[in-house]
Structures are given as structure tokens and as C-alpha cells.
Amino acid sequence: MEASVEQLVYVREDEYTVARMSAESTPSFVAAGRALAGVQPGETLELTGEWGEHPRHGRRFTVTACERVVPSTTRAIQLYLGSGLIRGIGPRLAQAIVGHFGEATLTVIDTEPQRLTEVVNIGPARQGQILEAWREQKEIAALMVVLQGFGVSPLLAAKIFQVFGRDSAELVASDPYQLIGRVRGIAFGTADKIALQSGVPEHSPQRIKAALLDRLESAAARGGHCYLSMTALLTQTAELVEQDQDVVRPMIDALTAERRVVVEAAPDQIVVYGKELHSRELKLAEHVDRLWRARSTLPMRPFQEDPALHDDQKAAVTMALTSTVSVLTGGPGCGKSHTVRVIAATVRAMGGRVTLAAPTGKAAKRLSELTGLPAMTIHRMLAQQPDPDKLFDQTPAQADLIVVDEASMLDLHLATRLTSAIPSGSHLLLVGDSDQLPSIGPGSVLADLLRVEEIPRVRLTHVFRQADGSGIIQNAHRIKAGRLPAIPGGGGFWFEELDDPEAVAERVVHLATVAIPRKQGVEPGQVQVLCPMRKGVAGTAELGRKLQERLNPARDDRAEHWSGTSAFRVGDRVMPIRNNYDKGVFNGETGTITDIVQEQRLVEIVIDDGDTVTYGFDELDDLTHAYAISVHRSQGSEYPFVVAPLVAESGGIMLRRRLLYTLVTRARSWVVLVGERKALELAVARLGDRRNTGLTRRLAHLLA
């Protein structure tokens, strides 16, 4: 039958799609199946399938095949044009266009687009915008057909078109390996599937080189590694392409000659870097060396030592004032923030200037609240440079001491940008908890610096009285020491034992949306769900979907837009997962969707710091819902109430001591862990793998 898509109801991770449809013979019905992957409201489809009865949801049409067709009725044409698929046309303008041209509307747009100006409110500029969007949609639809022919998800078509534009179809056919790393969701497996079907030989240099680069990029993205050993790279690549290592090894030499990888001798092994990460690591080491060797510009004057400070806090003050590069570390309740406040006050009393910064907006806000001093994100600090080559010139922004809190979040890229911008003579104090998870991005900057003996550091270990009664802090220190938390923990720490992952997920949702808000008299927005894993019934994807349906379900009077497997609705809590310097938003910040403008294909978001930003529909891959987020993405943030599932599904691959420790320390008042005791035991027992980085080795050589 031929039917129009009225609304998407559900899109599963495996692309199984449920949609509300309408047809002449059946005005309203539900269709479902993976064949519907990628369809959008407003499209007209030719469906093949059969009617059946779903045990929970009733009568529905199970789709086995679908093909996009040109809408033929005026209602279908109006629905298509007004759905937001064509930028520049909203529901009212769609009604006006169809009212003027009737069933000939799409023919007019295709063959006589200049006639659009006959419609009220369409001038030459809007007519050009509509025509460009119309052509773009036709090309994306054609690209979907190409991808389906290769057995590849049509959901990738819009993403590919966004990057490569009108060259997309040609590129997919001629060199699909170029898609790797440039289009989110396309790794070697997808590109290779297209290439092999296009006739690329299994042993071709093009294929082997793409696989080598993919293994290096995957190691950085998934494991935070800056390099792989030659042995590991050869083994992983040979397995990926199902070829002998003898075929793979010469391609490393070829990539080296092309300056796309760097092969280097390290202690006891040969290692291989991607070019960019190697360059960043070298630059970071050089700038730390420059700052460490520089003569201090801090005006040193006698100062009054605070007698209330603990001995290790006094040592930290002295270190920050006398060392141009230093590290202050310690666990929760050990007084890091108070020590920073004293250091900043001392520098100011001596006539110096201080800048406090953190990697994310939430971390900067928290630093400001704890110290009583203004703080900003590192990104904003860098953006305020009067000279692009210097962080602080002879301006009011000049600083003698730069304090960076939550330094465990610094990845190789951000740390290099930061240190390269600081002038010689300024003091850099990195503050963080080295027992927390490392950065989301590649590198392990804080841990690497702590391994360099020449760099001064102070570790605060004394837990102050006000923290003694906190079950959260007490159990955080137990976890850090490799001991199981006290159960029942009391003092804001709770563990609720459940063995069935489905039951765990339901309990987490109930606690976050009903039980805790009711007991504590707070809104559900005060409760944050943190997950060790993304996949599975208790992962961020499924739990986020359940929480969204509970807290912000679809409503006829509330705008929504589907992007891939996610529905974005007005009122949704969202989080950028990439830094966007043009928009001024950064990974880890959160905000609320306040408007969805279908006509302009835009989503409007108010970030928690009050700024308003917009994302185009083609940029929504840069956002994720914030109802349930990974522990990694919670770094630098603190929430009044935290609820987290602990399940050993798939071996509990992400369960590690640092992850559990970071999770627990995100809560200010309550943390509730729900799940299996064996998962809790697994998390405490596993130390986790050390990242492959060369920063410590480089600094030890430079500073010696």
C-alpha cells in the first residue's frame, strides 16, 4: 500500500522503527519493521508487508520492504512540505503553496521553481532557499538508495551528505574509506563492506592502510591511547582485514613515508602514533618544559601563613607560590578547594593576578562556588586572548597564577592548547583527583605529570571533620583503597541489591522520577542517572529513553524531531558531546530544548549558564540526551542526588574501580546504587588498564 508517515513513535538501536501512518484506505494505523529505518514524517512510502496483532500494542502492519515515492494527493504533498524536511517551508507556507498549485505542486518545484514567487510571502531569496533544500533532500534520498544497495543503514545518508555534499554518492562508490573518521557512525567495518562490494581487492594497499589508521583512531577514541605497540597494531589490523601480518607490515612503512603515522622506539618496544597525536604530545612536553624552566614573574612578598591549614595544605601553598608548574591532588573532603582559595588570596595579597579555570562550565561554576572567586572554562579563557599566540598579554586578563581545577579531565588536545598559550613566567597549578577516571579524549595528562619526579606535587590526604559523617566520602575512600563500601552505608550512601537487569532498570527509573523526588521534596531534574555502560537494558541509551518517556513524553502540542534513533522534544534535557567554539558550547555542559523550528530546521537550547544556542537538524549528532549519561561525561559535575545501575551484563566490561569512585563522588547529598553485588565487587576489584602515552617519558628526558 501507499501511505504517508505522520509521526515516528519508536526507533530502536538496531533501527527497528515504529511509525504512525495514514493511507487512503486506512486513515490511521501503525507500521513497524527495520525496513522503515531512516523514514521521516511527511514522506510517502510504498509499503510491502502483512497485518498482524501485537500482544501489547494491538493491530499493526509489519513492513518487510518500503520504497520512497512522490506524494500524489494534495494532503500528502502538504504533509511532506510542512514536515520540516524542506528548509524554508513550514506548515502554513506548505498550505499556501499547495493551495495555489494543487496536485501539480511538486512538478512546479521540480521543473518551474521560479513560479514559487507567485505564492504570497515567497520572494526570490526564500525561493532560492527552498529550491536548494529541495535538491538536497532529493540527493539524500538517492544516497539512501545507494547505501541500501550495499546493505548499509540509510540513516547514514544525511550524515554523509552533511560532510561531502553533492560529491557523496560518487565518493561512496569510488573511495568509501574516506568516510572513516569524518562521518560519525562510520568505522572501518561499514566502509569496508561498501568497498569490497565495489570490487576493491581484500589485499589492496588502500584497504590495509585504512584498516591501520582505523585501529589507531579506535584505540584513541575508545581507550584514550596515544599509540599502539607495533605488535598490537599488526595483530589487530591483520585480524580486521583477515590477512597475514606480512601483507600488513609494508603498509605501515608506506603510511610513515606519507607522514600519516610516526614509528618510534620506546622502552622495550616499537610504537606507532597517528601523526596528530604524536605532534600534540611533543608540543605538550615542550611547553611544560618551557613553563617549568621559566623564571617566575610572580611578585614575591612576605605573607602570613594561615595557622588553620593542615601541614600538607601549607606545603601546597608554598609549592604553588614557588613553582611555575605544580600539581595539587587528593580525594573528596581533603580540602583542595579551600587550599586553592588560600593560594589565590595569598597571590592577590602579594599584588599578583589569578585566573581560575576548569574544563567544563559546570566544573568552573562549582569551583567558583567552592572558592568564592570567579572562574571560567578553559575554552572561554583561551577565546579571550587579545593575541592569538598568548593567553595573557598586558591587559586586565594578565595572570601570574593560572589554576586549572578538575585536571583529570584534561586530554592531550586541550592540555596542549592550554600550555602553549600560557606565557613563560606565569605559574600553572593543576588541581585534580588522580584517582578519578582519565579524560574522555586521548591521553592521561594529570597521571602522566604525577609520574615525573621533577614536577612538584602535593597530595592532600587528611579528611576533615565536616566530611567524617558523609557516607559518600567515607565509601569513596574505601573504594579508592580497593575495599567494598560499607553496606548499608548511611550518610547518603545506599546500595539496593537486585539481580535482574530489567528489574534494575525499572527500579532506577522509579527512584529517579518518583521515589527520591517525593521523599526529598525535589523536582526529578535534581536527580541524575549515571551509567557505567551505554548499551544494554541498564545502559545510557535504554535508560535515557525510559526516563524521557516518563518525564517528557510525546505530545501533540509539543514539537519534536527525530534524528537517527533519538527523538528531540521541547523540554528535553540535552548535553553537547563535542566542543563547538563557534557556538561557545563545550562537552559536558547541559541545557534544555526550548523550541524546535521546523521551517528553519533548528533546535533552540538554553544552556544552564543562561546562554541560548541553536543546532541545525543536521548537527544533532553533536547532542545527546542528558536523562541518563555515562560516568565519563559526568566528570567535573556534582549533582544533589545520583542513581546508578550496576549490572554485570556482557562481563561488565566498563566496571572499574576508578569508574565507581568517580560515580560515587559525583553526588552531593545521596548516591543510590542499584544492582548486583557481584557487579559491585567486580568494579572495586578491577584496577583498569593504563593508557598508552609517551608524555611521562618525554618529560623525564626534557626535565632531567
Binding residues: 333-337
Sign of CA dihedral 600, 603, 608, 609: negative
- Looking up cell 548535553 gives 575
Give the residue among 483, 463, 535, 543 at the shortest CA–CA distance from 510: 543
Q: Please state, in angstroms and rounded to a whole number, the distance separating the CA atoms of residues 474 and 183.
A: 44
C-alpha cell at 53: 496483532
Chain mean position to CA 268: 35
Triad 56, 57, 62: Cα angle to 5°: 115
Give the residue among 658, 662, 699, 666 at the shortest CA–CA distance from 293: 699
Chain mean position to CA 452: 30
- Asked if 636 and 643 touch (Cβ cutoff 8 Å), the reply is no
**Cα maximum dimension of the chain:** 89
What are the DSSP calls for 471-521, one per residue? HHHHHHHHHHTT-PPPSS-BTTEEEEE---HHHHHHHHHHIIIIIHHHHHT
Helix axes 695-703, 275-293, angle to 10 degrees: 30
The one-letter amino acid code at 687 reads: L
What radius of gyration, in Å, describes the C-alpha atoms of the chain?
A: 28
- Residues annotated in a binding site for ATP: 333-337
In Å, what is the CA distance from 645 to each residue of 53, 530, 570, 669, 674? 34, 8, 27, 18, 5
C-alpha cell at 531: 551509567
Sign of CA dihedral 67, 72, 74, 77: positive
- Asked if 668 and 640 touch (Cβ cutoff 8 Å), the reply is yes
Strands (E), 230-306: 261-266, 269-274
- Asked if 352 and 401 touch (Cβ cutoff 8 Å), the reply is yes
Q: Please state, in angstroms and rounded to a whole number, the distance separating the CA atoms of residues 463 and 460.
A: 8
Q: Please state, in angstroms and rounded to a whole number, the distance separating the CA atoms of residues 432 and 446.
A: 8
Is 202 strand, coil or helix? coil
Kindly report the backbone phi and psi dihedral angles of residue 145, in degrees, each rounded to the nearest multiple of 5, phi listed first.
-65, -40
